[in-house]
Amino acid sequence: MLKTIGLHFRKIDILNFAIGTVLPIIVLFVVYSSVKSNTILQDHDFLSLLMNNKGKFIFYFFVAFIEEIIFRGIIFGVLLKKCKNKYLSCVVAALIFTLPHIFNTDNFSFSVMFIFPLLYGMFANEMFYITKSIWMSTGFHWLWNYIITSLFLATGTQNLIYVHIIVAMVIMIPLFYIIIRKTSSSGNKF
């Protein structure tokens, strides 16, 4: 049962999880660096902002873990089996993932909360499809949420990053795809 929802405990899953955690750190550091000239962020460095919100570090892991089990392991997994069309399953599962997120417009605009979860959902579905595991998408989801909250929501600078987030997703999806393909070709199969 656990394997069917991508909850494996293989050696390769440690690498998948590590890749998933490193990528948002890199991308969001670049975004942070590009908006650091804003007066609110000038007096803060990347690591100190992350450490100021460390109380939510574990919380965001559990949120990501549960969402990845539900949206990747269960919903995308069921759609793949029922539909047999990877692309249609990927888009439908991403749209389902987007639905609860679009109502979280307290901190971000509606368009950002539609576009980013949709792009992330498609990308996370691809991570799951290739690795047959939820660990890469869980690592990515966990640190993305934690860093966004710690850097931008905590400083009230989330309005500065709308375009940066969308551009980052459009750029990183093909790059991550290459990385994921390389890790999956090293024997990461069911």
Taking the domains of the chain in order of start, what are their residue ranges? 45-184
What is the percentage of the chain residues whose pLDDT exceeds 70?
Answer: 79
Q: CA 142 to CA 158: how far, in whole Å?
A: 18
Q: Which residue has the higher pLDDT, 183 or 50?
A: 50
Amino acid identity for residue 67 in this structure: E
- Provide the pLDDT for residue 67: 95
What is the 8-class DSSP label of residue 9? Answer: -
Q: CA 145 to CA 116: how far, in whole Å?
A: 12
- Provide the pLDDT for residue 179: 66
- Of the given ranges (3-12, 88-97, 134-143), which has the lowest mean pLDDT? 3-12
Is 50 exceeded by the pLDDT of residue 189? no
pLDDT digits (tens, 9 = 90+) for 144-171: 889 888 877 777 766 667 677 777 777 7
**Maximum distance among all alpha carbons in the chain?**
52
Token pair 């890199």 is found at 26
- Provide the pLDDT for residue 188: 45
Is 80 exceeded by the pLDDT of residue 135? yes
What are the Cα distances from residue 68, in Å, to 71, 87, 120, 174?
5, 18, 11, 21
The answer to whether the CB of 187 falls within 8 A of the CB of 141 is: no
Q: What is the chain's alpha carbon radius of gyration, rounded to the nearest angstrom?
A: 16
pLDDT digits (tens, 9 = 90+) for 33-71: 777 776 666 667 777 777 777 778 889 999 999 999 999
Q: CA 105 to CA 86: how far, in whole Å?
A: 30
The answer to whether the CB of 151 falls within 8 A of the CB of 38 is: no
Q: Which residue has the higher pLDDT, 169 or 1?
A: 169
